[in-house]
Structure 1
């Protein structure tokens, strides 16, 4: 016998005013709350729980912070009752598309002439990752961005940056004159480690031999950042561990 309480609640089962898809069609995506947008991605809830209720549960787990939600991996998402592998992969795919869109260069070249501008460019790429990645920003003489490149990724505690790969990648841009190094600290600790300082000094020396300049090394730590240039940590002497 059919039991209403055992049915999976779809968005289409809600009253018209409570249907996020209908609201989007009528008023556009910006009129929707974070909960409503998540509900559209989820499409359905679970027995006795609507897609909107399931979206609210997810947001509560992330303390209503979309950056924290985007940091969740598949195994984290499926711990929410009603989120199976299919829904989890849909969410992970949506967040990854958002990162890639944010990381694409606009048609007009971006000028990165200070640490804050670099951070705002890098944060969509690195701000909510649960593992470390090392990127380089390649700039021309006018500090215009030629390209952003991922050169290595690793675990939650570190990644290895290969100097040969870094400079080989940079020199693919014929007009490159300078680089900004960047990596993230998933722990949220913005201060550089001794290894970070030594690596930066090593790369600065190598860059000079190629007539390139390292303008900065940015550490992205969630919503904060650390700039080697702002803290006068780009000299060779600082890399000796003294």
Structure 2
């Protein structure tokens, strides 16, 4: 009787385990905790935190009545030896043989794999070199030459003076209120910039700096030094000329 009882308990445990495995595969993404849902996981933790199956699950959106989108993509990837290159070779017809993958989802997977191949083949975009006053002037002059009011911009760069992005700070005058040093520092830190150049225009055509220009330059330089950022220049742009604090030895 003891053997029969042990066998019955063993069968019961196997049945429970199989049921749990089946239920896990049938979980909808909406049934998962928010931290484990692929979209929310990507938003909160970045793409590196997601598996290939989770990234693909975001693309197809849903699974089938018997398994979640993640479980479906895990099954398809397993059949491809968990190799995205192998997945990229699957035809529309082959992908549609999997339960839960219709034409629209198969096309989405193929398009994603093709984009991956094209990105790998493409060259990285070359960032312009903003390491000289002349280069900054040539970059900013088209943006400022026809302005009838003052604008202030900051160019955020990496340590090789390659432009990360240009940010317009104010429109309608250069004052300590309009050019908030805290905003500049925040933008630089968010962009992982290490060097920056402040630029503003003088619609009057006179490129000489004012007292306010000098004060703002000093204030920004002091703040950058404290944050281990490098303010390489403050450029005043007119239509046809410029004034560089760096070239004049004032920074």
TM-score, normalised via structure 2 length = 0.49
Equivalent pair of 2:158/2:194 in contact (CA under 8 Å): yes
Is residue 157 of structure 2 the alignment partner of residue 139 of structure 1?
yes
Q: Distance in 2 between matches of 1:220 and 1:127?
A: 8
Q: Distance in 1 between matches of 2:188 and 2:213?
A: 20
Quote how far apart the aligned CAs of 1:195 are.
0.8
Of 187, 202, 224, the residue aligned with 2:219 is: 202
Work out the number of aligned pairs and report it. Answer: 126
* C-alpha RMSD of matched pairs (Å): 1.4
Deviation per CA, 1:47-105, whole angstroms, max 9, x where unpaired? xxxxxxxxxxxxxxxxxxxxxxxxxxxxxxxxxxxxxxxxxxxxxxxxxxxxxxxxxxx
Q: Distance in 2 between matches of 1:231 and 1:221?
A: 17
Q: Unmatched 5+ residue regions in structure 1? A: 1-105, 235-242
Structure that is richer in helix per residue? 2
- In structure 2, what is the equivalent of residue 188 of structure 1? 205
TM-score, normalised via structure 1 length = 0.50
Within a 5 Å distance, the mapping from 1:38-57 to structure 2 comes to none
In terms of Rg, which structure is larger? 2
- Aligned with 1:186: secondary structure? coil
Runs of 4 or more off by more than 6 Å in structure 1? Answer: none
Within a 5 Å distance, the mapping from 1:1-242 to structure 2 comes to 107-155=125-173, 158-159=174-175, 160-174=178-192, 176-234=193-251
Q: Unmatched 5+ residue regions in structure 2? A: 1-123
Equivalent pair of 2:188/2:194 in contact (CA under 8 Å): no
- Aligned with 1:164: secondary structure? helix
